[in-house]
A and B are shown apart, each in its own frame.
Chain A
Amino acid sequence: MTDANVKNNENAIVRVRDLHKSFGKVDVLKGIDCDIAKGEKVVIIGPSGSGKSTFLRCLNLLEQPTKGEVWFGENILTPIDPYMHPQIIRLSKVYKNLLKKSKVETPDLSEEVIDGAVIKIIKEDNLLEKEKSGAFKKAIKRLYAEKIMNVNLARQKVGMVFQHFNLFNNLTVMENLTLAPVKLKLKTKAEAEERARTLLKRIGLEEKANVYPSTLSGGQKQRIAIVRSLAMDPDVMLFDEPTSALDPEMVGEVLELMKDLASDGMTMVVVTHEMGFAKEVASRVIFVDEGKIKEEADPKEFFNNPKDERLKEFLSKVL
């Protein structure tokens, strides 16, 4: 994993820091750092069970991360992870004690070097677990109160497309598209329907407005699921294997719509097995394996010159 992408990117819409997720005793994500800038099209690939879907689902908190932070713009969605904030670590008693000790033991080192070393030790050994310092706790609380964003508000701006479409079965296509904007009072019913009709026209399914999802083909369902997200005017769109449940002849129409979105400048994060799509559309490809980002690069570099051994092996199987 390259450190270059971990530095704070001011343009990033989504910032992920040291993301961990475990289900019971199974560690699925083991520390992922990733910035997604406005307009980027990030494609995530990896073997099944590697944690790529879980990673995507952590971005809008459909899965609650076990550790680490997820930032959406200027706001945080997860609790504060103190290890991510040196200025907070410096308030802890552990830090102060270690600093004092280190200064005595190694008086010839500069303050900066000692500070860095102490913070590193604290991070590596998880020394903040028992921290009781009031200033430390207050700092966490203050930062959280300042930066927290209601997850429901964030999700309004983060569209998600699922492998199994998940259209609302008890509602018509039109109702599927208008439910959330109307219910969340973002649009009036008339406005939402107007927008829905425009979106349906765009995908050539305006005559399906009043039918129920069960009458649609897989490709139609997925395209409607995509415009259902678009109806919320999201800042980012997450795609969780959007073509994996489709019959082969329907994959094309969904990918076409996604390419269309990409050329409109939508910020996209796509988990997929469609290598052609990755090559053509991605601005960055990420290889996730065993809960970590093993490699990330622009598609040319990624596919022509892979460095990670696991990635080479993976690409030799899928290409």
Chain B
Amino acid sequence: MFDLFYKCFIEADRYNMYLEGLLNTVIIAIGACLLGVIIGVIVTCIRIVPKTNIFVKILDKIAQLYVTIIRGTPVVLQLFISYFVLLVSIKFVADGLIVAIVTFGINSGAYMAEILRGGILAVDSGQMEAGRSLGLTWFQTFSKIILPQALKSAIPTMFNEFITLIKETSVAGYVGIKELTKVQSFVTIQTMEIFMPLIIIAVMYLIIVLGLQYIQKRIERRLTKGDRR
């Protein structure tokens, strides 16, 4: 067992391959998470702001269409389209990592938008009314009262999305990006071993997710201070 591990991980400095894959996976995941949250927040704002003029209404329709298309198609397909079609057609030789970050970010943004919207809708409408009745503007009430409460209830689902996203980046190997899952094929070619590299990689994913879970718990504990005391 240890011999197998030695052969697949330490011999010929193979751990460097894993680390490179791990690094790429983490870069894609973090970049996509940030992009996803930014897109999610923007789309959510468009969708929940009072529809007072035609411009906002049009933006709202576009946002709905975006969410529908992204959630309605597989992420692998989206990756293929942005990698092969977009990259080739605009003759823009970007780094594979950037393509992956953008694709997964856009994908995650749609889910994030729905998660945030759900969190906001779950906040009692009386909170907004109370803020408005004191003379606060919609935006003041939203940012000080509604959003903090919405984030609190959305945190578990948001972390669920982060965790899903990290594991989803494993399909980036299909377009030749050296992320963690792809490492298995390189190691297998050199060592003729399949099982051990897969286990090593699985453990690495698991460690990342455990770290995320820890962060989630810390955040939740801080945010729930308003619930009991």
Contacts and interface: CB of A to CB of B under 8 A. Distances in A.
B130 A167 contact: yes
B124 interface: yes
Contact of A180 (B127, B135, B152): B135
B226 A212 contact: yes
A180 B130 CA distance: 10
Contacts of B16: none
B68 interface: no
Most buried by B among A159, A167, A179, A225: A179
B220 interface: no
A79 to B, nearest CB: 14
A162 interface: yes
A287 B174 CA distance: 72
B226 A170 contact: yes
A168 interface: yes
A169 B127 contact: yes
Given A152-B136, A180-B136, A170 B130 contact: no
B89 interface: no
A214 B228 contact: yes
Contacts of B225: 212
A169 B228 CA distance: 11
A232 B227 CA distance: 27
Interface in A16-47: none
A267 interface: no
Interface string A163-186: 010111111000000011001100
B137 interface: yes
A169 B128 CA distance: 12
B229 interface: yes
Report the interface size class on chain A: 20 to 34
Contacts of A214: 226-228
B129 A162 contact: yes
Given A179-B144, A214-B226, A214-B227, A169 B149 contact: yes
A92 B13 CA distance: 91
A228 interface: yes
Interface string B194-228: 00000000000000000000000000000001111
A162 B134 contact: no
B160 interface: no
A167 to B, nearest CB: 7
A215 B228 contact: yes
A191 B137 CA distance: 22
B144 A166 contact: no
B229 A211 contact: yes
Interface in B125-170: 126-127, 129-137, 140, 144-145, 148-149, 152
A186 to B, nearest CB: 9
A162 B125 CA distance: 12
A167 B127 CA distance: 7
Contact of A168 (B131, B132, B135, B137): B131
Contacts, number: 78
B135 A152 contact: yes
A155 interface: yes
A60 B132 CA distance: 9
Given A164-B126, A214-B227, A170 B145 contact: yes
Contacts of B133: 60, 62, 155, 158-160, 162, 229
Given A168-B127, A212-B226, A155 B152 contact: no
Interface in A129-172: 152-160, 162, 164, 166-171
A170 B224 CA distance: 9
Given A155-B133, A155-B134, A232-B135, A183 B144 contact: yes
A170 B148 CA distance: 7
A75 to B, nearest CB: 14
A166 B130 CA distance: 6
A214 B149 CA distance: 13
B134 A232 contact: yes
A229 B135 CA distance: 10
A62 B129 contact: yes
Most buried by A among B130, B145, B226: B130
Most buried by B among A60, A183, A184: A183
Top 10 closest pairs, chain A to chain B, by CB: A156-B135, A166-B130, A160-B133, A180-B134, A166-B126, A155-B135, A212-B226, A170-B148, A152-B135, A170-B149
6 contacts: A156-B135, A160-B133, A162-B129, A169-B226, A183-B136, A214-B227
Interface of B: 124, 126-127, 129-137, 140, 144-145, 148-149, 152, 225-229
Given A168-B144, A170-B148, A184-B135, 11 more contacts: A152-B136, A155-B132, A155-B134, A160-B133, A162-B126, A170-B152, A180-B131, A180-B135, A184-B136, A229-B134, A232-B134
